[in-house]
Structures are given as structure tokens and as C-alpha cells.
Structure 1
Amino acid sequence: MSTHTPPRFDPTRVPHLLGSFAPVTEQVDVADLEVTGEIPASLDGLYVRNGPNPRFTPIGSYLYPIDGDGMLHGVWLSEGRARYRNRFVRTPAMRAEERAGHALWGGVESMIMPDADQVGPELAGDFKDLPDINVVRHAGRLLALAESACPFQVDAGLTTLGREDFGGALPAGITAHPKIDPVTGEMVVFCYALEPPYLTWSVIGREGTLTRGPTPVDGVDEPLMIHDMALTGRYVVLVLAPAFFDLDAAMAGGSFLAWRPERGTRVVLIPRDGGAPVWAADEAFWLWHTVNAYDDGPGERDPVVVDFVQWSRLTVGGGPDDAEPVSGGLARARIDPAAGGMARTLLDDSRVEFPRVDDRRIGRRHRYTALATQSGRADLLPGEYDAVRWYDTETGESRVWSAGNLSVGEPVFAPEAGRHSEEHGYWMTFATDRTDGSSWFLVIPAQDPASGPVARARIPVRVPLGLHGCWLPTEET
């Protein structure tokens, strides 16, 4: 018996299971992709992206971007050629569903969990692992990341190796958006939980061992959702929007997330040396993703600058029947660590998401931000983007490449080897043609991004619109 009566659910009416978001089940390997244009010979490495991709038709509910099995899509580049492979992140729950031939767990909102007769005592009565959001490499480990849970390690060929809890030191898991300090090599993480301590942060050293165990964040006395974080040379930056977990509502068939704007949004600066946190508060806003953060000066009293994509309220699921308008854009907050004050400004009011910078600038001042954006057409699904925008923090100007019939994903920066400028490199992304379902891997020059791709590699299967990825240069292996 399930732990919750399944609600009425029709997956054919869920926008994020349709069109360019629709899942695929075929796993393929192609050694030599068809390329239009020319892949720069200087690009040698792997571009890999994760994203929600249900292995079987969902039951109970489906909440994008939280639900869905992870699928990794990899494009290996070398000597101007490209090869492709996609693989599911095969968790114990997925293996159980494969044995059954259908979904056994419902979406997180439905609270459907199989019993021991169906899946055995180790998996019964528990949530399904969902390492479907991001993928990073740190200390030689390639990790498929979930939303505040243990990641799963995969090998160089994207085959799943197993759950990663860092030698038992982080059994509750980590965030889907850890930040790797390019100077120290440390990976800083956080984890939220439904029970105390509700929010902790930890540090994994350059060599992959835990150097700071889970440290509770004082001042957090309720369970709430935090998707992303930021890092500066001095601080861990967490934005606590008023998105609270409501398990009573979830058990009664309602939403497990409650948006309470009257509570406002708080930002906490946690000194990386273990000092006392600094809190700042503002009117309610939601963010999925930070851009970057940095200390605006060498002194302890100098401001902290945080760039992010803000939304006027929580946006999750976002079906076509969601009538309440939502506004957003690229924003910047300046936080005074001495007084705890916060000033927030809107840098660009375009509808954008999936912001990225040159990862070598994480925690330090950056110039360019790349984001997926919308051209204004009315036929896009919620969370679908058909252009890429580059924002210049020095001039305040933007450059845009319109992708036409292509739906584009998150842009990721690949620097030219031996070059340190943010303009010397290429932006990469997957894109899917809404007219015929064909998918492409795009390479866009950083020096003139508005000119569009210098190369397009045809992917042999459709790549569903997904979430986050990274560029892994061969020389770093």
C-alpha cells in the first residue's frame, strides 16, 4: 500500500512533460557528430549537462524542476571533432522501477512511496533520489547533484558509480549548487532539512576530504527551500526567501511549499573563517539562481556585492493556468556587513534565467553574465527560452543572440587554454528546434556572442530542455 492516496493526475497536461521538455528514454553513443561550421581546435574536453528526465511516465504529480530522474548528456570535443553520449543517473529507486517496468514513486507533491513488498525495506517509505539538477567535478569526482541530498558519482563515461556521502561525513547530502573557489580549490556547500538543524554549511577541501563538517546556521528555526548560494573570498552567501515547507498541507494533498511574502527575504553572510553570521533583510523576492558574489574591497567592513536573477514570487511548476503575474530580471544587492543593511537594484528587467559567469571568476569581481532569455514570442512554455543575453557589468549594456525556432538552455563558458580574459573563450549550450524536435550543441564566440554560433553539432537524439552543466577541460583531468 502507498503512504498517500494518489491524487487525480494527468501527465499529458503537464507542460514540462511536453514539447521541448518531453523526456527521452534512449541512451546512445555517437563517435563523430555532424558539424555545421567549425569547432575551434583549442576546445579539448567534455561539456556535460544534467536535467530532469523521467524514466517512466510519472504518477501522482510532476513538479518541474524538482521531479524527474537525472539524465546526463555529454559532448566530448577534440581536434575540431565532437562525440556524444547520454546516460541516466541510475539510482537504486530507478533500478527498482526498471524491474517493475513502471513508476513506483510519485512526484514529491503526491507523497506516493512504495512499500517493502514492492521495493524491499531499504527503499520503502522514503523519498526517491533525484540527482537531476546539476553536475560538477571536484577532486577528481564527477557528481550528479540533487536538491539538498546526496549526489551520485559517475565515471568519465557517465556511468553511475553510486551515492556519494563523502566517506559518511555528509550523510544528509549537499546542495545542487555548490561553489568551487578557483583560488583555494575548496568546494563550499549547504544543505537544508525538514528537521533541525534546518540549515547547515560545510567545506570540502581541494583534495576531496571534509575540512568543515556540517555547521548549523543560527537564526533558522523553520524548514525552508534554498536552491542556490554564492561565495566571496570572505563569506558564504545564502538568500532565504519565504518559501517554507508545509508537510501538513502536503499530506492533505496540497502544496508542500508555501509562499509567505509577509515574512520578507533575508540574506545571511557567513564568514568562511567560522565567525558570527551577518543578517540583512528586504521585501520578499524569490531567486532560483545567483550569478556571482564578491567582496567590494579588501577590508572586513567593505560591502559584499551579490548578483542574481530575482522573481517577484516563488515560481515552481508554472503551468499555463497560473494566472498570477510574475516579474523578474537581473538584480544586484549590496550588503553592508557592519550594519547589516541591504540595497537591491534591478540591472536589467529582461525575462532571464540560468545565469553563468566564467567559473574562474567565482567569488571575485566579474564583468560578463550570460543568461537564457526570451525574445517576446507568445508560444513558449513556462521556463522555455529562445535567445541568449550577455550583460556587461562595466557598461550596463547587453548583447543578444536570437535563436529563432530553437529553444536554448543554460550557457556555459569554456575559456581558451592559456588565456585569462573573460572574452577569450566560447559559450556552449544545447538547443532544440521546436518545429521538428532536432537538438543541437552550439558553440558561441565570447568576443562577438551576438553573431551566433561558430559551430553547431547535430545531436542524434532530442535533448530535453534541462538545467545545469559544466565544461571540463581535458588538461584538468
Structure 2
Amino acid sequence: MSQPEPSSPYLSGNFAPILMECDAHDLPVLGELPRALRGTLYRNGPNPQYAPRDAHYHWFIGDGMVHAFHIEDGRVRYRNRWVRTNKFQREQAAGHALFGSWGNPATTDPSVLGQNDGVANTNILWHGGRLLALEEADLPIELDSESLATRGDVDYGGKLDGAMTAHPKIDPVTGEMVFFAYSADGPFTPGMRYGVVDRDGRMQRLERFEAPFPSMVHDFMVTQNHVLFPILPLTGSMERAMRGEPAYAWEPKLGSHIGIMPRSGGAAQIRWFRGEACYVFHVMNAWESGSRIIADVMQYDTAPLFNPDANGARARLCRWTFDMAGKSDRFTREYLDDMPGEFPRFDERFSTLPYRHGYFAFRQHESSGRGSYDGLAHIDLHSGKRVTHVLPEGDAVSEPVFVPRAADSAEGDGWLLATVYRGAEARSDLAVYEAGALADGPVATVPLSHRVPFGFHGNWLGAD
């Protein structure tokens, strides 16, 4: 590294990058890995290659690094690789950072002004025969599922000419991947894009519409017949960025706007519902019940991270209900659980459909610090019962990923996989839990000799 990292909470502890790519061919296993667990857990997250140019570095903009844990016959092998984006390759050739935060021209080297600065650091999933590294401001990037080598941008035969969300939804009935993008007409613009890719990886639909205002729209909802676009008052502004102010800011007076579009229709049929200001980074699931649409989300009363007045804002699992048969443009909100948490997951064989079991990460010890979680929760949405597992103080856990025991297993019958940072040892484990017995702790842990830095999202690709 050509320069030392600046002082930043997002460049210290387990937020700090690891500066190597490595392979471990046969990791030790404590406990016993289920023999039926066969496949690969992929995780993605920020891992800056070089010290950032901006004094106020943000976690969201680090170069993407993918971590892969391949499990088979009770054994585990591990590999990590940076995603070779345009930004990564240009900076690697230069030997130092070239791009400013959020594409800010005021802090970008003139040699790369106007070039793609995507980092592919947010999510990773398999669809249409491709392993895709995703970030919401750019095209998907395909990786080799074994070597993690970067194969290049995916534009679906030239049909996708811009960004795609980091949170597409896979319809378990049709196999389609449904996606959206915000700032579709350039940074901090209100244009939105909606698209559908069929199960074989062919673009079927792509259209554009206008949101009420430019908003950071990190996630969205899909049911069997509808798509929901949450336009919430965390707004983007190039004018602010050029003045040296935060590009994103909390403007609660704008309220919340939820656009609902029929999947069989188009943008002209979007119906807008309105509510009080709130913010949502992540959605659990959404489905239909008669004339109602129901969505379970992790709702903040005020936007964290970008709002200096957030005062430690926490998300809680909240149910939004929309009456499509009614004439009102309002929707109802009901908290389902009082435990603050984030990174909601569920058995995604039930995506877009009614479901019962949900999982999320939460923070038990305030000493764990901002952006980290030290507990996992399982909530039974029929009974309301919550079961938890809490790590020792100083440790931290990632988003839990559900893996079904078999393709035809009952909902919730399977395992939760997560990486665990061991604070006292400055290294990480892979932890495997029985999803229905979370309180018992992991049935197996797989120790690494290095850290897996705090990241965002991951997914499982079964061996079959």
C-alpha cells in the first residue's frame, strides 16, 4: 500500500481491509458439519485496495472482495478474491487510489474523470447460469464460481445499459430475476429502471419511470403479481457533493412514497401510497393476501449513517399493509418485534409468497460498536415467538443465510450460515447453525487464520 489509511471508524477493527488474496484447501472443523450440506457460501463486502483519497471515507465505497466457503462431505475449503472492476484495475496499475467517494469529481484524479467507478461490493448471487457480483450503481459483474476470477460486466446482450440493484428478487415459481435501479439518468437523478431477466438469463423487460424525488433506494419488494418501489426521504444531490457536503442527506419533510406496479402491467399503472418519513435498507419478504399486499421490512424511524441527528437509529421488523381495493393512498405499519436488528433473511424458496420463519442479526452488547452485530434471531411469524443466540462480548456476526436441508424440505428445515469475527483473536470463523435450534449455538465452526472484514450480503449455491 502506497499510503497509510486515514483515521476512520470504517478503516479500523474488523472494518479494516485485509491486503491479501488466499486459498485454504482443507480447513479445520470444530463440531460436525452436516453431510447433507453440500455447496458454496459466497459473501461480498468492501475491502479497499488502497488508502482512499477522501478524508471522510465511507464503508459503502470500498472495493468488493468475495469470500467463498465450499462445503462437501464434511470438509471446507476457502478462497477470497477482489472483484476486478475498472476502478480496481486502474488503481492497481497506478499503485494508489484514483477515484473520489461517490464519483465526486472534486476528489477524483483528472486522469479517470468520467470513468466507471463501480466497486461490485454489496451482494453476490447465482442466476441464469452466472455468478453475479452486485452493487446498486453499476452493471453486474460475472465471476467464475470456482476460481472467483472476474469474467466481466453482464449487460444481457447489450440490453442493460446502466445500473442494476444489489437486491434483485428471484421468483421461485417462474425462476425470473426481477430488478430495479435508481438514479437511472445519472447520479442523484429521480429516474428509475425496472427489468426482468428470465430463468435462462435472457432480458425480457426493461422500462423507465420517474420517482417523486432522487432517493437512495437500496431494496424493494416483489410479490407474485406486484412490484413495490419504496422512495424514502434519504435524498441524493450533486449540488451538495460539489459544495463539499454529504451527497446523501435526510429530508423527512418529503415523507415516504411507495409505488406499486402490477407485474403484468407497466410503469403507467404505478399507484403511489404515502406515509410518514422512515427509512428501510432491507426487506424480509412480501406477498399478497386477497386484495392486500403485505411487506415485512426492517424499518428505521430516521435514516442512519447519513443523518447526523440519527442518534444511534435502530431498525425493527415492521409490517406494511396496502389495501389495493381501497381508495386511500395511505398504508398501515405495525411493528412485529421490538428487538432492533438488521440483515433480515428467510427461506427464499418462499420469496414473493406467504412465509412463516424469519432470521436477522441484532446487537446485544453496545460495546460491539456501530455497524456490527453480536447475535442472531429467529422469529416465528405465526406464533410471534423469538429465539436468539448471542456471541461472547467482542465477537460479531454477519448476515445469516438460510440453506434448506433438501429441495422439498418444510419451510425453515435447514441451516443458517454466517461468518463470525472473533474480536479477541482478530480472526474469523464460519458458523453453521440448525435453523430450528438457534439457541443451541452452532453445530459446527470452521476457523480461519485471518479476518473476514465486515461485509454486506451473501448467498448459497447448492452443489446440485
Instruction: Tell me the amino acid that sits aligned with residue 349 of structure 1.
Output: D
Shift of 1:460: 3.1
Shift of 1:229: 1.0
1:4 is aligned to: none
The separation in 2 between residues aligned to 1:166 and 1:61, in whole angstroms, is 37
TM-score normalized with structure 1 length? 0.91
The one-character-per-residue Cα deviations of 1:228-283 (angstroms, maximum 9, x if unpaired) are 01110011111110111111110010011121101111111111001511221110
SS of the residue 2:60 aligns to: coil
Q: What is the 5 A alignment of 1:45-56?
A: 45-56=39-50
SS of the residue 2:93 aligns to: helix
2:15 is aligned to: 21
The separation in 1 between residues aligned to 2:318 and 2:449, in whole angstroms, is 38
Indicate how the Cα distance of structure 1 residues 352 and 95 shifts in structure 2: closer, same or farther if over 3 A, else same: same
Indicate how the Cα distance of structure 1 residues 198 and 61 shifts in structure 2: closer, same or farther if over 3 A, else same: farther
Q: What is the 5 A alignment of 1:200-349?
A: 200-213=193-206, 215-218=207-210, 220-275=211-266, 276-297=269-290, 302-316=291-305, 324-339=311-326, 340-349=329-338
Q: Pick one of 428, 431, 435 that aligns with 1:439.
A: 428
Q: Pick one of 84, 89, 108 that aligns with 1:90.
A: 84
The separation in 2 between residues aligned to 1:336 and 1:387, in whole angstroms, is 35
1:181 is aligned to: 171
1:63, 1:109 within 8 Å by CA — same for their partners in 2?
no
2:86, 2:116 within 8 Å by CA — same for their partners in 1?
no
1:363 is aligned to: 352
Q: What is the 5 A alignment of 1:367-386?
A: 367-375=356-364, 377-386=365-374
Indicate how the Cα distance of structure 1 residues 326 and 418 shifts in structure 2: closer, same or farther if over 3 A, else same: closer
Shift of 1:109: 7.3
Indicate how the Cα distance of structure 1 residues 323 and 362 shifts in structure 2: closer, same or farther if over 3 A, else same: closer
The separation in 2 between residues aligned to 1:144 and 1:402, in whole angstroms, is 30
Indicate how the Cα distance of structure 1 residues 44 and 244 shifts in structure 2: closer, same or farther if over 3 A, else same: same
The separation in 2 between residues aligned to 1:317 and 1:440, in whole angstroms, is 31
Range with greater deviation from structure 2 (228-237 or 186-195): 186-195
The separation in 2 between residues aligned to 1:50 and 1:62, in whole angstroms, is 22
The separation in 2 between residues aligned to 1:229 and 1:128, in whole angstroms, is 24
Task: Tell whether 2:181 aligns with 1:191.
Answer: yes
SS of the residue 1:249 aligns to: helix
The separation in 1 between residues aligned to 2:274 and 2:190, in whole angstroms, is 21
The separation in 1 between residues aligned to 2:118 and 2:384, in whole angstroms, is 41
2:152 is aligned to: 162
Q: Pick one of 84, 91, 96 that aligns with 1:102.
A: 96
The separation in 1 between residues aligned to 2:85 and 2:276, in whole angstroms, is 40
2:228, 2:258 within 8 Å by CA — same for their partners in 1?
yes
The separation in 2 between residues aligned to 1:203 and 1:45, in whole angstroms, is 27
Indicate how the Cα distance of structure 1 residues 345 and 28 shifts in structure 2: closer, same or farther if over 3 A, else same: same
The one-character-per-residue Cα deviations of 1:314-357 (angstroms, maximum 9, x if unpaired) are 12268xx8673424311000111233431001111212000001
2:250, 2:306 within 8 Å by CA — same for their partners in 1?
no
SS of the residue 2:349 aligns to: helix
The separation in 2 between residues aligned to 1:450 and 1:317, in whole angstroms, is 34
Instruction: Tell me the amino acid that sits aligned with residue 244 of structure 1.
Output: T
Q: Pick one of 51, 71, 94 that aligns with 1:77.
A: 71
The separation in 1 between residues aligned to 2:139 and 2:317, in whole angstroms, is 30
The separation in 1 between residues aligned to 2:11 and 2:387, in whole angstroms, is 31
2:87, 2:116 within 8 Å by CA — same for their partners in 1?
no
1:391 is aligned to: 379
Instruction: Tell me the amino acid that sits aligned with residue 150 of structure 1.
Output: L
Indicate how the Cα distance of structure 1 residues 99 and 109 shifts in structure 2: closer, same or farther if over 3 A, else same: closer
The separation in 2 between residues aligned to 1:439 and 1:419, in whole angstroms, is 32
The separation in 2 between residues aligned to 1:434 and 1:197, in whole angstroms, is 42
SS of the residue 1:348 aligns to: coil
The separation in 1 between residues aligned to 2:75 and 2:232, in whole angstroms, is 44
Shift of 1:106: 2.1
SS of the residue 1:262 aligns to: helix
SS of the residue 1:51 aligns to: strand
1:474 is aligned to: 463
The one-character-per-residue Cα deviations of 1:30-62 (angstroms, maximum 9, x if unpaired) are 110011001100011000000011011112145
Q: How many residues align?
A: 452
Instruction: Tell me the amino acid that sits aligned with residue 16 of structure 1.
Output: Y
1:350 is aligned to: 339
1:32 is aligned to: 26
2:91, 2:97 within 8 Å by CA — same for their partners in 1?
yes
TM-score normalized with structure 2 length? 0.93
Is there any run of 5+ residues in structure 2 with no aligned partner, and where? none
2:162 is aligned to: 172
Shift of 1:11: 5.0
Q: What is the 5 A alignment of 1:416-435?
A: 416-435=405-424
The one-character-per-residue Cα deviations of 1:392-413 (angstroms, maximum 9, x if unpaired) are 1001111000011320000001
1:148 is aligned to: 137
SS of the residue 1:66 aligns to: helix
1:125 is aligned to: 114
* Backbone CA RMSD of aligned residues: 1.9
2:190, 2:215 within 8 Å by CA — same for their partners in 1?
no
Range with greater deviation from structure 2 (29-38 or 411-420): 411-420
Instruction: Tell me the amino acid that sits aligned with residue 166 of structure 1.
Output: Y
